[in-house]
Amino acid sequence: MIKAILIFNNHGKPRLSKFYEHYNEDIEQQIIRETFHLVSKRDENVCNFLEGGMLIGGSDYKLIYRHYATLYFVFCVDSSESELGILDLIQVFVETLDKCFENVCELDLIFHVDKVHNILAEMVMGGMVLETNMNEIITQVDAQNKMEKSEVRLTLPVHYFYLSVYQAGQVDTGRYCRSACSCRISCKEHEPPGNAQKHQHW
Partner 1 sequence: MALKIVKGSIDRMFDKNLQDLVRGIRNHKEDEAKYISTCIDEIKQELKQDNIAVKANAVCKLTYLQMLGYDVSWAAFNIVEVMSSSKFTYKRIGYLAASQCFHESTDVIMLTTNQIRKDLSSPNQYDTGVALTGLSCFVTPDLARDLANDIMTLMSHTKPYIRKKAVLIMYKVFLKYPESLRPAFPRLKEKLEDPDPGVQSAAVNVICELARRNPKNYLSLAPLFFKLMTSSTNNWVLIKIIKLFGALTPLEPRLGKKLIEPLTNLIHSTSAMSLLYECVNTVIAVLISLSSGMPNHSASIQLCVQKLRILIEDSDQNLKYLGLLAMSKILKTHPKSVQSHKDLILQCLDDKDESIRLRALDLLYGMVSKKNLMEIVKKLMLHVDKAEGTTYRDELLTKIIDICSQSNYQYITNFEWYISILVELTRLEGTRHGHLIASQMLDVAIRVKAIRVFAVAQMATLLDNAHLLTGNVQRKGICEVLYAAAWICGEFSEHLDNPTQTLEAMLRPKVATLPGHIQAVYVQNAAKLFATILKSQEGNTDSTAAQETSQLMIDRLPLFVQSANLEVQERASCILQLVKYIQKLQQKDVEIAEEVIALFAGELNPVAPKAQKKVPVPEGLDLDAWINEPPSESESEDEQPRAIFAKEEPKHSRPRHTEVDEKELAKRREARKQEQANNPFYIKSSPSSQKVYQEAPGVEHIPVVQIDLSVPLKVPGLPMSDQYVKLEEERRQKDKAEKKKKEKKKRKEKRSGRGKRHDSGPESEEDITPAHMVDIVTEEMPENALPSDDDDKDPNDPHKALDIDLDNLMEMAGRRPLADSEKLPVRSHRAAEVLKSPAQDGDAESAVSQETKKKSSKEKREKKKDKDRDRKKSKEDKKKKKKKHKSEEKGEDLLGGQEDGPVGQSEETSEVAAQPTSTTAEVSDLDFWLSNAPVPSNTQEAATVAAAEAAPVSELASGTAPDSEPDEPKDTETEETKSSKHKKKKQKKEKEEKEKKKKKKHHHHHHHSDGGGEESVQNGTVEEEEPLPPMSNYCLLAENSYIKMMMEDADQVNDIQGNLQDGSQVVVSVIFENKCDSFLKSMEFNVLDSLNSKLQRPEGSGPHDGLTVPFQLPPGVSNEARFVFTMQSIIMPQKLKGTLTFIVKNEDSSTHEKLDFKLHFTCTSYLITTPCYSDAFAKLLESGDLKCSSVKLEGVVMPFHHLLARICFRHHFSVVERIDSCASMYSRSIQDHHVCLLVKTSGQTVSIDAKCDEPTLLGNVLDEIKQTFSQC
Residues in contact with partner 1, counted by CB under 8 A, come to a total of 67
Which residues lie below 8 Å from residue 72, measured CB to CB, with a gap of 6+?
6, 7, 8, 9, 10, 36, 39, 40, 65, 66
Q: Quick check: 161 binds partner 1 (CB under 8 A)?
A: yes
Q: Which of 16, 55, 69, 134 binds partner 1 (CB under 8 A)?
A: 16
Q: Quick check: 148 binds partner 1 (CB under 8 A)?
A: yes
Q: Quick check: 37 binds partner 1 (CB under 8 A)?
A: no
Which residues lie below 8 Å from residue 144, measured CB to CB, with a gap of 6+?
118
DSSP 94-123: HHHHHHHHTS-BHHHHHH-HHHHHHHHHHH
- Phi and psi dihedrals of 7, rounded to 5? -125, 125
Q: Quick check: 142 binds partner 1 (CB under 8 A)?
A: no
- Which CB, 69 or 115, lies closer to partner 1? 115
What's the CA gap between 59 and 138, in Å, rounded?
35
Contact residues for partner 1, defined by CB under 8 A: 1, 14, 16-18, 20, 22, 25-26, 28-29, 42-43, 45-51, 80, 82-85, 87-88, 110-114, 117-118, 121, 125-133, 136, 140, 143-144, 147-148, 151-152, 155-156, 158-159, 161-162, 165-166, 169-170, 172-173, 198, 201-202
